[in-house]
Amino acid sequence: MIDLTTRSGAPLSKLTFGTMQFGGKADQAESNAMFEAARESGINHFDTAYIYTEGASETILGPLIKPAREHIYLATKAGYTAGASRAQILEHFDISRKRLNEDAVDLLYMHRFDDRTPLEETFSTLAELQSKGLIRHIGVSNYAAWQVMKAQAVAKSLNTKIDVVQPMYSLVKRQSEVEIFPMAADQDIVVVPYSPLGGGLLTGKYAQGATGRLTEDDRYKARYDQDWMHNAARKLSELGANMGVPAATLAVAWAAEHRVAPRPIVSARSAAQLQPSLDAMSFKMSAALYDQITALSITPP
């Protein structure tokens, strides 16, 4: 597997911190507190995007990383709503750099597949940014495995490659195990999956009547509101209660334990809500426990 490092040469942390809530559900104070908690736990990989909270995520993150920039791996994304044309990539990336107050980032993702723009145009633009030292690595998010391979062929023709893939992955969303994970292992691509808590389902909070993405966002409700998923979440909570470990800690640690060594993205609305996920950084999971948790969900055929 490719060895991604910070500018100072440090290996990337087991977990990644996602700043999707910065400037949205998390105000400046909570964003600061979560950033500090993530750093104290040992996280050095931070993920944002041009589209997050209408730019507030990048604007808040920029000053936070500045004092330790050489020791932080910074990722952002472009091309979610306006496509992945050369003009859009350059425009959005320039805006992202201004918000972050950074000349360069470590990783730039294409946020989703764009079937309207030739891959040659998209990846020649990324290759150019890489050759100028404005990005170190190239990533893709929300691509199917066949889309990654199609893009990888184009990237290799331009003497570069896709280094990172960002799919959805959790105990109740395991489809990435079928093609994306084997592809990543074969292509020497790092996996940085999002939503290891299944939109909060795997914390067990919805079984207790709490509110969150599943109750507030129709997309998340459609994605996770299935009986077997709720049943898996309930059993995970019961297992955690018997062990004296938060279900969120088990869910994140499980997602990081797959043999392709994913680096799950954790996030929250507050430092208190974030802590159980951060505890997965130091949680030691046995092979027997991993198998026990795996058995709580449906293995995709």
Nearest to 122 by CA among 138, 133, 134, 107: 138
Phi and psi based region of residue 10 (left: phi greater than 0; alpha: psi -120 to 50; beta: remaining): beta
CB 135 within 8 A of CB 141: no
The active-site residue out of 50, 52, 73, 224 is 52
The position carrying tokens 């690595």 is 137
Reduced to 3 states, what is the DSSP secondary structure of residue 76? strand
Token pair for residue 290?
């991993």
Neighbours of 128 (CB within 10 A): 16
In single-letter form, the type of residue at position 65 comes to I
Beta strand pairing call for 16-18 and 190-191: unpaired
- Identify whether 52 is a catalytic site residue: yes
Which residue numbers are catalytic? 52
